[in-house]
Chain A
Amino acid sequence: MNKLILGRYLPGDSIIYRLDPRGKFLITFYFIGIVFLANNVASYGFLLLFVLFAVYISKINLGFFIKGLRPMLWLILFTVLLQLFFTPSENPLWHWGIFTLSTDGMRIAAYIFIRFVLIIFISTLLTLTTTPIEISDSIESILKPLKVIKFPVTQVALMLSIALRFVPLLIDETTKIMDAQRARGVDFGEGGIMQRIKSFVPILIPLFVSSFSIAYDLAIAMESRGYKDGEGRSKYRVLSWSKRDYMALVVMLLITIILLFIRSY
């Protein structure tokens, strides 16, 4: 069950870990954006080098990143094959019915593959080096301007952090319910797909009930500790923006300039 947790954090220490999560969060999205600017072998190669360099200085084993590709494998394969066989071309190498294989198609398929690798590696780098709570703190900080239009930023951030905090607890709860039902003879691994889906309904109902009771207990506990409505609270966790975070932004700027240069070359 534990493999299901999204955005697994890997405890460690390196410059990437120490970067301000807000910066990392924004840079990751920015990088995903500029990946789409790449248009030739050199620009893709340059971005790939940059990502591999980032992985290298993060001191995390490359294996973790390759594992990160696995859940997306079918999507990647499907998209790559689509490009490979359906790219129209003037002088195809091979042609059969609706299928066309050409050097253009091969090149585009390779680009798409690298694009996936880049995006998945960079976002894996974010989640491996940033705790979920840091991510939720950065979201709060980034959304802060929305307070002007009365968007409840602090409340949403607290909701997010509590939700993250309760993921492992709910997984435990699910395991307990499944064990209790297994003990009474339910077999979750048997039957066709419909049968298997059906056997999950008796898990969802008790899980719902217990989630509500946990939520009630938690609300009472929070209120007894003086939680009002999120206003007038101070913050224990503070994010600190330092010199290296400016450096990271400068690096991104340089990457963009070089990329634009290679692109038009």
Chain B
Amino acid sequence: MENIISIKDVTYTYPESKKPAINRLSLDIYRNEWLSIVGKNGSGKSTLAKLIDGLIESETGTIIVDGQEVNEKNIWEIRSKIGIVFQNPDHQFVGATVEDDVAFGLENQGIPRDEMVKEVDAALKMVDMQDYKTRDPQSLSGGQKQRVAIAGVLATKPSIIIMDESTSMLDPNGRKTVLDLVKQLREEQNMTIISITHDIEETELSERIVVLRDGEVVQKADPKAIYDIGRKLTNYGLEEPFSSQVAYLLKDELKLPEGYLNEEELIENIWKLSSKM
């Protein structure tokens, strides 16, 4: 698989702290994969996202994004390839209306107005928010705001989308619409998705989970292998999946297969048991 981002030996320490937030971290991210980055608060997840986008500068090591090294010279080109959707929908709205906000990234690139109008419409259509074009962001729900934020990111046609806990402030419905949208976008637009999250459902959608602790990668595996850890997932800042909790409580009473089962598999197995009895 081809790397779209390769991070090599990167260290970053916040000015006010003694301990590095990211400590000699190396990681390859493949083109068109959906990668989840998980970890407890302060494990360096968001710092990593900022480093990839060149919003902060690493002390050591190199980061290569789509063949270009992140440095002063390439930074604007790299930023145009990466779209970040942040946690708080209210804190990333620049425009006074939905359409103005979606246009912000395009305005920054100096795209002529006629083209912008088309791009804004297309981006709003992709996230199914075209009916809200002239609305004031304050009048939207959290999920709608995040969809507009995604439209703003899509308008500039990035190849990588970073979701920095983008669904953590949304209600279950809002979260579902945003995740469905991201899933669909990845399939249709061939994007690479990096989601920084605490949400177990979000990691289930991804192909690979990277666990950070104290600025280092401590685990790298597909979701199933990570969920096998079961009880200890809380050490990684993740909640144990519901099915795994149920399986753990049942393990003394019933004979269930080893390893992680998702909800459907668990139900299937319990059914089989009861039909044997």
Q: Report A's interface with B, CB cutoff 8 A.
A: 131-133, 161-162, 164-165, 168-169, 214, 217-218, 220-228, 232-238
Contacts and interface: CB of A to CB of B under 8 A. Distances in A.
B100 A224 contact: no
B91 A221 contact: yes
A224 B94 CA distance: 12
Nearest to B46: A220
28 contacts: A132-B96, A133-B100, A162-B94, A165-B93, A165-B96, A214-B90, A217-B88, A217-B91, A218-B92, A218-B94, A220-B50, A220-B86, A221-B84, A222-B104, A223-B79, A225-B83, A225-B94, A225-B104, A225-B152, A226-B79, A226-B156, A233-B107, A233-B108, A234-B106, A234-B107, A234-B109, A234-B116, A236-B120
Interface string B135-167: 001100000000000001100100000000000
A161 B100 CA distance: 11
A207 to B, nearest CB: 15
A161 B91 CA distance: 15
Among all A-B residue pairs, the 3 with the closest Cβ atoms: A236-B103, A217-B91, A221-B92
B55 interface: yes
A236 B116 contact: yes
B108 A227 contact: yes
B15 interface: no
Q: How large is the interface on B (under 10, 10 to 19, 20 to 34, 35 or more residues)?
A: 35 or more
A110 B87 CA distance: 58
Contacts of A168: 138
Contact of B96 (A161, A221, A233): A161
A2 B90 CA distance: 18
B153 A225 contact: yes
Contact of B55 (A132, A220, A228): A220
B110 A222 contact: no
Contact of B113 (A217, A223, A225, A234): A234
Nearest to B152: A225
Given A234-B113, A236-B120, A222 B94 contact: yes
Nearest to B107: A233
A238 B113 contact: yes
B86 A221 contact: yes
B112 interface: yes
Nearest to B162: A224
Contacts, number: 88
Contact of A226 (B76, B103, B116): B76
A236 B113 CA distance: 6
Contacts of B112: 234
A236 B100 contact: yes
Nearest to A133: B96
Given A165-B93, A221-B86, A232-B110, 20 more contacts: A161-B96, A165-B95, A165-B137, A168-B138, A169-B90, A214-B90, A217-B91, A222-B104, A224-B55, A224-B83, A225-B108, A226-B109, A227-B108, A228-B76, A233-B110, A234-B116, A236-B99, A236-B106, A236-B113, A238-B113
A175 to B, nearest CB: 13
Nearest to B116: A236
Contacts of A226: 76, 79-80, 105, 108-109, 156
Give the secondary structure class of B's interface: helix
A224 B84 contact: yes
A217 B103 contact: no
B69 to A, nearest CB: 18
Contacts of A227: 104, 108
A209 to B, nearest CB: 14
Nearest to A173: B90
A228 B50 contact: no
Contacts of B116: 234, 236
Given A169-B138, A228-B108, A133 B97 contact: yes
Contacts of A236: 99-100, 103, 106-107, 113, 116-117, 120
A218 B84 CA distance: 12
A126 to B, nearest CB: 17
Contacts of A161: 96
B173 to A, nearest CB: 21
A225 B156 contact: yes
Given A221-B84, A236-B103, A214 B91 contact: yes
- Residue of A131, A165, A228, A233 ringed by the most chain B CB atoms within 10 A: A165
Given A220-B50, A221-B91, A234 B84 contact: no
B157 to A, nearest CB: 12
Contacts of B104: 222, 225, 227
B193 interface: no
A63 B257 CA distance: 74
